[in-house]
Structure 1
Amino acid sequence: MPSNMESMPLPQRPDDPLSALAAADRARDRLATSLRLPSGLFPVLAVAIASQMGAAAYGVAAQTTTGLAVALAGAAAFLGVAALVVVRFRRINGVRVDGLASTIILGTGTLSTLVYLGAFVAATWAAFESRWWLVVTAAAVGGAGYSLGAWRWWRAYRRDPVERAGGASPRVLALLAVAALVGFAVLVVGS
């Protein structure tokens, strides 16, 4: 009695596996170069980061309930912008890109991280000294630098998506979230 397996067609096998891989590479590259970011992403990201940074610097320096509320409002505004950007990207392109959320939006790229940290330290120091013009300046420079880091990553991703794919690992993001929560708890207990 012949089995059903004998009557099933065999899967198509490429004549040349190397040419199939080359075709897949070309398709990946075409996709990477055809991806579009939501219009105005980098200026919106710069403003969102600058607002979040300024609010956080004020909250840290004020060490009051109002300061905490301002810092949380800045974080909520940034998270809202981040969610909107990711949703719009997926609607425009119909795909997910490894590294988009972690590297562009959450700033885990080297340049974005370094600029953010430097600008945040400057903005926080200025807030403690009540030099509000300097808080605004440091936050604006931080937002612009953060956005520049995101722009540079996006250009590099489109040139070589394999090297840039992946973004930050969930473990790294979880550790950063834990560090942020610990810092938040220190602020709450200290105020």
Structure 2
Amino acid sequence: MKLLILDRDGTLNRNRDDHVASPDEWEALPGALEAVARLNHGGWRVVLATNQSGIGRGLFDMASLNAIHAKMHRQLAAVGARVEAVFFCPHAPEDACHCRKPEPGLFEQIGDRFGVPLHEVPAAGNAVRHVQAAAAAGCPTHLLLTGKSEHLRGRTGLGADADLAVLAPDLPPGTHLHDDLPAFADWLLAQDTVAPS
């Protein structure tokens, strides 16, 4: 099984500093839903892992989160895309849980649910904490230069380790960088076409 773990806010939809708290506030990033469709058509099953501390902070409730995800699923379906499941952490930071990224709990839950070794499951997101959680769980890591990492886009020599150490010192070693979800999808699908040696 080809399984892929994505972040939600800032990766699939526009990030908001004050949380996406209602379906009206959920807005897909350009090309992101179509990128999921291309991944699906390439045989990839896509799962989301997302911190949703707005629940723990009392900013929105489960009914609102379910309505947001219903809108997301409808928009995905409209372009021929599918997200298999959404794993989320509802806790506030002070709860010190194991599932709030950068802790690896959500990724471990996904590995258990789907029965796939996590070292075979690429993970992509726009937040360093998503990449840190993925690395802690053993996933190959990819940082998208959107949302929380958009400020890194276009920086001179970003691919060099020395530059990365300065610009994103908490980024796990070996993390691949991509401009956005469509660029990551292009890269991942291109890997599938490389013949094994």
The question of a shared fold, defined as TM-score above 0.5 by the shorter chain, is answered with no
Q: Which has the higher helix share?
A: 1
Whose radius of gyration is greater, 1 or 2?
A: 1
Q: Which has the higher strand share?
A: 2
TM-score (norm 2): 0.25
Q: Which has the higher contact order (CA 8 A, sep 6+)?
A: 1
TM-score (norm 1): 0.26
